[in-house]
Structure 1
Amino acid sequence: MGYLYLGMAIVGEVIGTNLLKLSDGFTKALFTVGSLFAYLFCFYFLSLSMRSIDLNVVYALWAGLGIVITTIISVVLWHEPISWITVSGIILITFGTVLLNLHIN
């Protein structure tokens, strides 16, 4: 169940981050409120995932997958540029996340 909760937390974080962009610096109320609710959803399920998965693994997966998914969305949906430095950083984060998961008892 922990990984299901973690997946829900990641979805909430990605939605919240994109709504945060749409909120335009908290000037658009609907997107601001949506972002806040998405982050509440995210942190609730993040906390549930920590009941059965180690904190370092939870945080690495949450942050790592969140970065990868958010970067893909930012390029596809928001047409933001991406550089080889960005891709290199994401690859390093991904390898770090894999290493943390291999370290599980």
Structure 2
Amino acid sequence: MHWLYLAIAVAFEVTVAIAVGKAEGFKNRKWTAITLLSGAAATYFLSRALLKLDVGVGYALWTSVAGVGITAIGALFFGQRLNLNKAIGMVLVIGGVVGLQLSGSA
């Protein structure tokens, strides 16, 4: 169940990143509300996942998977450039996540 909680936390964290970009410095109330609510939900589900995962591993997985997801969504839907250096960085992050998972923490 902790992996499901972590996946939900990642989805909400990706939502935070998208929403904060649209919140216009918290001037847009709708996107500000989405940012804050998504952030609270992300934190809640991360805390549930951390009941079983080591804190360092869980937090690293949460931030890194969300970062890769945000970068991919930016390239696919928001016209942001995905160059070779970003792609290599994403591969390295994914490799690190796999290494953490294989460390046997959960």
Structure 1 residues 1-105: aligned runs within 5 Å: 1-104=1-104
The secondary structure found in structure 2 opposite 1:69 is helix
TM-score by length of 1: 0.93
For 1:53 and 1:67, the matched residues in 2 are separated by: 19
Q: CA deviation at 1:21?
A: 0.9
TM-score by length of 2: 0.92
Long gaps (5+) in structure 1: none
Long gaps (5+) in structure 2: none
Report the AA paired with residue 47 of structure 2.
Answer: S
For 2:4 and 2:82, the matched residues in 1 are separated by: 30
For 1:86 and 1:96, the matched residues in 2 are separated by: 15
The secondary structure found in structure 2 opposite 1:72 is helix
Q: What RMSD over aligned residues (CA atoms) do the two structures have, in Å?
A: 1.1
For 1:75 and 1:25, the matched residues in 2 are separated by: 22
% identity of equivalent residues? 29
Equivalenced residues, count:
105
Q: CA deviation at 1:29?
A: 1.0
Runs of 4+ in 1 over 6 A off after TM superposition: none
